[in-house]
Amino acid sequence: MAESWNPTVRWSRPEHEREGTDLLVFLHGYGANEHDLFPLSQYLPQRYTVASVRAPMAMEFGGVVQGYTWFPLAQDMGSDPALVYQATVDLQSWVAAQRSQFRSVSLLGFSMGMVMATSLLRMEPTAYDRIVGLSGFVINIDPDSPAIRYPVDDALRSLFHDDEVAFARPKVFWGRDPQDPIIPVEQVDYARSWLSDHVELTAEEYSGVGHGIHPNEIQDVARFLEQSPHAGE
């Protein structure tokens, strides 16, 4: 990715109507695009301006783009830490460039998008009003953990300020199906442990949805976002 990454973004408001609203950045999952999560915006508090961001790497099969990913995945769901680092830094830079015109910034990530959302939070622990993670997990940076699937190096580890996250206790919503067939159990266990130790966590489970989003989950996310201190302003 270029240093000045300029992603494709689907916005819920035209540019002249965004000033002073609350920004909610949608971060889609592996193989999806900026349209995948966008329909959720109609069910969320309308004081938010939604920016649904397309991941930077096209996934091609037979010369046809089938979707996008934030970074490549191997068959074992591992990835090159340098590519994870670059994706995180580039996304953080883009979000930071939007911040001045909005009252607050929140993030909503599905699956790999939750990895990106929590990684941005770990870079800037006090920069986000609310974080929503759906059917996803958190990158494990513990060098002694046998559960690591996303290998880390010193550069990637240096991005994260987990002690500052634990001090700030940002508000995070985590929704998932306990029988999700996609996310490995060790990743779920690490996410549960990390989130419990570092954030003010609202965790909900929704049986029967698999690796998806339950209608009741959308309602719970809407309530979580509505509890922001900016509501009613």
What is the chain's mean pLDDT, rounded?
A: 90
Q: Which of 20-29, 71-80, 116-125, 209-218 bottoms out in mean pLDDT, i.e. has the lowest?
A: 71-80
Q: Report yes or no on whether pTM surpasses 0.85.
A: yes
How confident is the model over 157-202, as pLDDT tens digits? 899 999 999 999 999 999 999 999 999 898 899 999 999 999 999 9
Q: Which of 19-23, 123-127, 155-159, 169-173 bottoms out in mean pLDDT, i.e. has the lowest?
A: 155-159
What are 201's strand-pairing partners? 172
In single-letter form, the type of residue at position 213 comes to: I
Each residue of 158-185: b (16+ CB within 10 Å) or e? ebbbbeebeebebbbbbbbbeebeebee
Q: Please, which pLDDT band fits residue 119 given cuts at 50, 70 and 90?
A: very high
Q: Where are the alpha helices (DSSP H) in 103-184?
A: 112-123, 154-159, 162-168
Res. 17: pLDDT tops 80: yes
The residue with greater pLDDT, 230 or 22, is: 22
Q: Please, which pLDDT band fits residue 132 given cuts at 50, 70 and 90?
A: very high
Res. 230: pLDDT tops 80: no
In single-letter form, the type of residue at position 139 comes to: I
